[in-house]
Structure 1
Amino acid sequence: MKKTLFLVLLLASFFAKSQKSTLNIIPQPVEIEQFAGLFTLNKATIISYNKVEGRSAAEMLIQKISTPTGFSLKVQEGKNGGIQLNINDVPNEKIGKEGYTFESNTKGVVISANTSAGLFYGIQTLIQLLPKEIEGKELAKTAWTIPSVKVTDYPRFAWRGVMFDVSRNFFSKEDVKKYIDQLARMKFNTFHWHLTDDEGWRIEIKSLPKLTKVGAYRVARYGHFGDRAIPKEGEVATEGGFYTHEDIKEVVRYAQERNVTIVPEIDVPGHSMAAIAAYPELSCNKNPKTFVNPGASIADWYGNGTFKVLYENTLNPSDEKVYEFLDKVFTEVAELFPNKYIHVGGDECYKGFWAADEGCQALMKKLNIRHVEDLQGYFMNRLEKILKAKGKKLLGWDEILEGGISPEATVMSWRGIKGGIEAAKMGHDVVMTPTTFAYLDYNQGENTVDPPIYAGLRVSKSYSFEPVPDGVDAKYILGGQGNLWTEQIPNLRYAEYMTYPRAWALADVYWSPKVSKNWENFSKRMEAHFDRADLAQVNYSRAVYDAIVKTTLKNNKLSLELGSELSDLDIYFTIDDTMPDSFSPKYSKIIELPEGPITLRVITYRNGKPLGHLITLKRAELEKRATKQ
């Protein structure tokens, strides 16, 4: 009898422990505690809301889970549901506007928040606590269980964004909505929509119809961006598209339902080639043959941040007609986007055409300024007055600091964090989005595996980002965002590949407490979300599994160092022209490579199974990337 009782207690203990699962939530909650026991969702479960603001969240939850579960769940007002969505009668000051509390046990789930936004984010946590099959597109047979937990959660930063460039390649409104939905699931709340550039003008301006009739289309070209040919004489522009006012309103509503604010960007005074193609009189040279760039090289870059533009892409700051044009554009933009910010670009503005223009020189004399660069400050201050008249705040890339801007302007720091530090110390609000941590168009792993681009950024580097620099008052740092430029991104599937998992890492950075940052912990959660993304048919990069190959050259001797972002990978390599596998030499320490025309082949394994891409590098490439000692 004693043996039987002991066995029963042992089994009970085992099952209690087995009910505790790893909680793979992204972003990591502020406080989370797990207990024994599970709540099981079934076809009789009711979702309740205590105030009308919670009804849309309840309906959105049902919409998300109905297909994989097969349940047609009911929504009702009150506090009697198996899943309760409650707006607090007395605000919980700790969780603020976007936070929530979450309690689940064997009887049900209660999500409480001060606002509907908090409820929405609590629901995203609930979905991540359900089995991964909840992400599927078809009916799944599994136990729909939620572990017993207690969560208190709220964001570190108010601005948690991703920028999506639709100028370099056009994306349909359905693509944009799908992308916004994915970001909202990770508790991002800002969608920076880059709508105009040299390669296309994507927003309808009814008072200026040629902006889309001409500026939204370019000649068809293929191949690497920057290597393409300019248009031929008489060649018809057929590639592109734009969003009508109704399209914009639809996307804005869709985002609002998911607590995402859309910040539109109209990039001026540089990056305006598409606008000038439509209205050449806006430029200094007024060249009627100005074209929408199909991805040709229109500038010479000198490697030190300086450049020369070969085809005019800059508005003329001395021409009053330019400001009349801008007033028309921003009148319609302001009406379409209800948020307080409009992004005006301001980056990479080439001043060479201004320096050679008589009108610009006369303006400089009138303003008593000696440097042509100061004309950008004049332009931006004129533009800010236009925006203020429409009830909007000016937001721009860190170049807007050049030439002087008003204290009310908000700065987006992209050229590292230096511009953000400078702006914050001047009293400007700042959004941190440096290339070194947040540029999602950069290569994610080995440059010989993914299609080439000018720089690299691994997910572990993105995860290491700290948006508040030392010595800066945190009150000026609104938050941060990732930026996805699409020169080399022709479709949504590849946009997803470049965005994830780095956007998941940035979601942690912008939402979770600084003290909770732990790469090992995040990488485990990230890998669990790979499985979820597969079921959701969302693309992502697996570059985190690839080996990192470094070489050094000392006294004409080439040494090899191999590593990985994940600590539990085994790395195997060959230099004898054979294909590596788990029986090949296993890397353990820096090795000196022999002389001769060797080819290095490297692959990673875990638990005896290959994971990463096969990397193949000839000696010339190994020498090219070597650091000299």
Structure 2
Amino acid sequence: MKRHYVWLIGLLISTIAQAQQPLALIPQPVSVQTQPGTFALTRSTAIRYNKPAGQAVADRLASQLSRPTGFPLGAKAGSGSGIQLNLTDTPDAQLGPEGYRLSASPKGVVITANQPAGLFYGAQTLLQLLPKEIESAAVTRASWAVPAVQITDYPRFGWRGIMLDVSRHFFSKDDVKRYIDEMARYKFNTLHWHLTDDNGWRIEIKSLPKLTEVGAWRVARAGHFGDRTDPQPGEPVPYGGFYTHDDIREVVAYAQARNVTIVPEIDVPGHSMAALAAYPELSCTKAAVSVNPGTPFADWYGNGTFKMKVENTLNPSDEKVYEFLDKVFTEVAALFPNPYIHVGGDECYKGYWAQDPGCQALMKKLNIRHVEDLQGYFMNRVMKIVQAKGKKMIGWDEILEGGIASDATVMSWRGIKGGIEAAQAGHNVVMTPSTFAYIDYLQGDPTIEPPIYASLRASKSYSFEPVPDGVDPKFILGGQANLWTEQIPTLRHAEYMTYPRGWALAEVYWSPKTAKDWAGFVPRLEAHFDRADAAGVNYSRAIYDAIVRTSQKDGKLVVELESETPGLDLYYTIDDTMPDGRSPKYSQPITLPDGPITLRVITYRAGKPIGRLITLTRDAMQKRVGRF
């Protein structure tokens, strides 16, 4: 009995402490008003919905609450105390199709919305109001208390997406489902599924069976993607995989139940090496190629231009190419109920077109002088095919080159310039510039992160503004994060690269522009580190690491240190000792003495180390002058 009272007192203290904590919601709602008291979730709590359209959300919420609490919760029609999900009789114009109101008091929780999507997003907020243990996959003990609060919330943008590339590395349908679960928790509503590229064709096309018989498989290679050796004649091709029609339908239904729309991408006319491995006759040279395992198949010149060593483009002058694409898009359109099909259009190398007699003849027929204009002809042909299937075409900003009809939607990835031009020309735009939204980039110091060619810190993702100055906001559908997977072979690492930058972008795309504040976001971000731990979701802690910048002044090497996370102390050494909390504390730029200096830096908070150790030789520091 004594132990029971001690436990009850501890539970009461925990409940009071929780009620006093600031709310750690991501993305930040439009309006939050905290009030005294809490609502206690118990095994007798009822979950009710007022209309049949709310049942699916109520059932899912009951399941999510039952798993960690162990309470036998279920959902039923009607009204009453406990947790009530209400769809409005008369639409609330402020909320729109995805907004909600959440009212929590000691008597219960009421979520009100115009549409089931709004109920779903209100339920995600309710889960975040509960302690982190609610994320557990097993029964656990916690104070299941919801702080009293009044929330009004609705999204800033209708397109809130993440792109998952499954061509470079294949992810099973269960991996994709888990990824959808994670993004839906943070109110993302679009999964852009990059299904085809040079490194694998991942979707079954029954009328073109070789696309998956040949194009879905490649030789096994280890090591850094982009530096691997070429396939050898007769070498086995064990690595890969693809999704059957039934797999696609299953994943699409799974996503729909979580208010996530899947936009498939078939990347053409470039990035088609896997398709050409299956059907080489669709290229200009007709030469046999292999599904690429990550070899250096192009020379990049540093200014965005490149030369392909192996042909990876479809032939725009061959009518059989358009017959092929008609078959592909017929089956794709039937599998994905959303309005869009993404057709790629990026990084199309035109050197083989320039040498092809058929392409030259087509240029003469079209009265065009530049081979680059053939892409405009190709993309307009593709758009007509897509539209004939009852779909809208969306592509990367290169589809603007050579001219494209204004009803094509543009995804701006090469900075924001393409998005500005597209919007000014009357195109709808999804803003996804590499400078803010490419979450495959390094997120910490290059010496301690898996190598890739560019960097993007979480704070910069958070600073993104999707509506450029001078652009009519009505043309900006929203934005998305892009996860290219050349260097991402597993779901675990996909999670590491997605979060916390995905959480930062979730707030960019959902919350009011005026709500953004990095210093205020970091404590909420840290609370979600704890929630991710409870859920078993991987993430990066690079926001705790030191940022090391170097410059040259009066012939001396100068080091400047900072951290993304406010309030950290930075300790360093240059005497070949390991830094700790009693080493020199950084306060101003460090002018390094001559000699074979090695800089070591670590961050501390409240007297405890929190960041990773960064070690840089003089040569390494010299090479990064002006770069970071």
Give the TM-score of the pair, scaled to structure 1: 0.97
Pick closer, same or farther for the CA change 1:18–1:379 going to 2, 3 Å: closer
- Secondary structure of the corresponding residue to residue 538 of structure 1: coil
Match of 1:480 in 2: 479
Shift of residue 16 of structure 1?
7.3
* Structure 2 CA distance for aligned equivalents of residues 496 and 142 of structure 1: 26
Match of 1:150 in 2: 150
Deviations 1:319-377 (A, max 9, x none): 00000000000000000000110000000000000000000000000111000001000
Shift of residue 36 of structure 1?
0.8
Shift of residue 563 of structure 1?
0.3
* Structure 2 CA distance for aligned equivalents of residues 18 and 471 of structure 1: 44
Match status 1:31 vs 2:27: no
Match of 2:234 in 1: 234
Pick closer, same or farther for the CA change 1:613–1:240 going to 2, 3 Å: same
* Structure 1 CA distance for aligned equivalents of residues 205 and 16 of structure 2: 62
Match of 2:7 in 1: none
- Secondary structure of the corresponding residue to residue 551 of structure 2: strand
Q: Aligned partner of 1:224: which letter?
A: H
* Structure 2 CA distance for aligned equivalents of residues 200 and 30 of structure 1: 42
Match of 1:45 in 2: 45
* Structure 2 CA distance for aligned equivalents of residues 507 and 109 of structure 1: 25
1:200 and 1:218 in contact (8 A); partners too = yes
132-141 or 428-437, larger mean C-alpha shift: 132-141
- The 5 Å alignment of 1:366-445 reads 366-445=365-444
Match of 1:602 in 2: 601
Deviations 1:216-243 (A, max 9, x none): 0000001001100010111121100000
2:15 and 2:143 in contact (8 A); partners too = no
Deviations 1:38-63 (A, max 9, x none): 00000000000000011110111111
* Structure 1 CA distance for aligned equivalents of residues 277 and 445 of structure 2: 38
* Structure 2 CA distance for aligned equivalents of residues 292 and 73 of structure 1: 50
Match of 1:562 in 2: 561
- The 5 Å alignment of 1:534-549 reads 534-549=533-548
* Structure 2 CA distance for aligned equivalents of residues 245 and 16 of structure 1: 52
Shift of residue 18 of structure 1?
7.1
* Structure 1 CA distance for aligned equivalents of residues 249 and 167 of structure 2: 19
Deviations 1:258-316 (A, max 9, x none): 0000000000000000000000000000012x100000011000001110000000000
2:29 and 2:511 in contact (8 A); partners too = yes
Shift of residue 80 of structure 1?
1.0
Match of 1:307 in 2: 306
2:188 and 2:260 in contact (8 A); partners too = yes
For structure 2, the 5+ residue unaligned runs are 1-11
Match status 1:217 vs 2:217: yes
Aligned length: 616
Match of 1:3 in 2: none
- The 5 Å alignment of 1:96-135 reads 96-135=96-135
Q: Aligned partner of 2:402: which letter?
A: G
1:20 and 1:34 in contact (8 A); partners too = no
- Secondary structure of the corresponding residue to residue 477 of structure 2: strand
Shift of residue 627 of structure 1?
2.9
* Structure 2 CA distance for aligned equivalents of residues 445 and 34 of structure 1: 36
1:184 and 1:260 in contact (8 A); partners too = yes
Deviations 1:539-564 (A, max 9, x none): 00000000000111022111111100
Match of 1:446 in 2: 445
* Structure 1 CA distance for aligned equivalents of residues 518 and 412 of structure 2: 25
- Secondary structure of the corresponding residue to residue 252 of structure 2: helix
Match of 1:85 in 2: 85
2:81 and 2:107 in contact (8 A); partners too = no
What is the percentage of aligned positions where both structures have the same residue? 69
- Secondary structure of the corresponding residue to residue 93 of structure 1: coil
Deviations 1:126-171 (A, max 9, x none): 0000011101122211210000000000000000000000000000
Match of 2:347 in 1: 348
Deviations 1:567-619 (A, max 9, x none): 11010000111111001111011121111001000000101111111000000
* Structure 1 CA distance for aligned equivalents of residues 188 and 616 of structure 2: 39
Alignment RMSD (CA, Å): 1.3
Q: Aligned partner of 2:298: which letter?
A: A
Match status 1:363 vs 2:362: yes
1:16 and 1:36 in contact (8 A); partners too = no
- Secondary structure of the corresponding residue to residue 234 of structure 1: coil
- Secondary structure of the corresponding residue to residue 124 of structure 1: helix
1:20 and 1:35 in contact (8 A); partners too = no
461-470 or 588-597, larger mean C-alpha shift: 588-597
1:39 and 1:106 in contact (8 A); partners too = yes
- Secondary structure of the corresponding residue to residue 424 of structure 1: helix
Q: Aligned partner of 1:584: which letter?
A: S
Match of 1:463 in 2: 462
1:20 and 1:36 in contact (8 A); partners too = no
For structure 1, the 5+ residue unaligned runs are 1-11
* Structure 1 CA distance for aligned equivalents of residues 626 and 461 of structure 2: 23
Deviations 1:74-121 (A, max 9, x none): 311111140000001111100100000000000000000000000000
Q: Aligned partner of 2:23: which letter?
A: L
Match of 1:260 in 2: 260
Match of 1:165 in 2: 165
Match of 1:175 in 2: 175
1:21 and 1:147 in contact (8 A); partners too = no
Match of 2:317 in 1: 318
* Structure 1 CA distance for aligned equivalents of residues 234 and 143 of structure 2: 63
- The 5 Å alignment of 1:199-218 reads 199-218=199-218
Shift of residue 22 of structure 1?
1.1
229-238 or 459-468, larger mean C-alpha shift: 229-238
* Structure 2 CA distance for aligned equivalents of residues 61 and 380 of structure 1: 44
Give the TM-score of the pair, scaled to structure 2: 0.97
Shift of residue 17 of structure 1?
8.5
1:166 and 1:194 in contact (8 A); partners too = yes
Runs of 4 or more above 3 Å deviation: 14-18
* Structure 2 CA distance for aligned equivalents of residues 182 and 472 of structure 1: 32
- Secondary structure of the corresponding residue to residue 20 of structure 2: coil
* Structure 2 CA distance for aligned equivalents of residues 473 and 189 of structure 1: 23
Match of 1:190 in 2: 190
- Secondary structure of the corresponding residue to residue 263 of structure 1: strand
Pick closer, same or farther for the CA change 1:30–1:84 going to 2, 3 Å: same
* Structure 1 CA distance for aligned equivalents of residues 626 and 230 of structure 2: 38
* Structure 1 CA distance for aligned equivalents of residues 48 and 233 of structure 2: 64
* Structure 2 CA distance for aligned equivalents of residues 221 and 63 of structure 1: 42
- Secondary structure of the corresponding residue to residue 163 of structure 2: strand
1:558 and 1:593 in contact (8 A); partners too = yes
Match status 1:582 vs 2:581: yes
2:574 and 2:598 in contact (8 A); partners too = yes
- Secondary structure of the corresponding residue to residue 249 of structure 1: helix
- Secondary structure of the corresponding residue to residue 60 of structure 2: helix
Match of 2:3 in 1: none
Match of 2:592 in 1: 593
2:63 and 2:73 in contact (8 A); partners too = no
* Structure 2 CA distance for aligned equivalents of residues 140 and 258 of structure 1: 25
Match of 1:9 in 2: none
Match of 1:272 in 2: 272
* Structure 2 CA distance for aligned equivalents of residues 397 and 574 of structure 1: 46
Pick closer, same or farther for the CA change 1:15–1:52 going to 2, 3 Å: closer
Match of 2:5 in 1: none
- Secondary structure of the corresponding residue to residue 442 of structure 1: coil
- Secondary structure of the corresponding residue to residue 479 of structure 1: strand
